[in-house]
Amino acid sequence: MSLVKENDTVKVHYTGKLADGQVFDSSEGKDPIEFTLGQGQLIPGFEKGLIDMKLNEKKTINIAKDEAYGDSREDLIQEVQKSELPEEIKPEVGMGLVSKSQDGREMNLVIAEVKEESIVVDGNHPLAGKDLIFDLEVVEIKETEIKE
């Protein structure tokens, strides 16, 4: 029987939860996700949790924040003057914004606080600083063919 190993391409159904049981993402009712292990497409703890799972096996894994999105970084939180925002934007807590750097890279931000003359934006991943729990089910394993 084949087991999931590094470099295999797998299809997985999953439900991601926080410690309090709140579901933040799930493939339920959708196609399973497909990816190749070892290419850094998913957080390290998710990939490590799949290693040695069998086809159709289900298990729950706990991923510490260090193996997920890391700690929340203070340097990704900053205050921006409302005058710097486009006029049509009426800032509200929780609203998503996209900032473009001078080299054209985009960064997703969330408004964390609205003040009189400014807003506080947070560029951290929404799950940064949190331990995660995933219910996993392996639905397909495409083993990597070793070329001689």
Can you give the pLDDT at residue 4?
Answer: 94
Mean pLDDT of the chain: 93
80 and 38 in a common domain: no
Indicate if 40 and 89 belong to the same structural domain.
no
Q: Are residues 65 and 78 in the same domain?
A: no
pTM over 0.85: no
**Contact predicate 139/32, CB 8 Å:** yes
Q: Identify the pLDDT of residue 9.
A: 95
Please check whether residue 70 is in contact with residue 128, taking contact to mean a CB–CB distance below 8 angstroms: yes
Say how far apart CA 68 and CA 119 lie, in whole Å: 28
Q: Determine, yes or no, domain membership for 54.
A: yes
Q: Is residue 3 part of a domain?
A: no
135 and 64 inside one domain = yes
Count up the domains in the chain and report the number.
2
Does residue 143 have a pLDDT over 90? no
pLDDT in tens, 68-104: 999 999 999 999 999 999 889 999 999 999 988 888 8
Q: What is the CATH number of the domain that holds 114?
A: 2.40.10.330
Report CA 91 to chain centroid distance, whole Å.
25
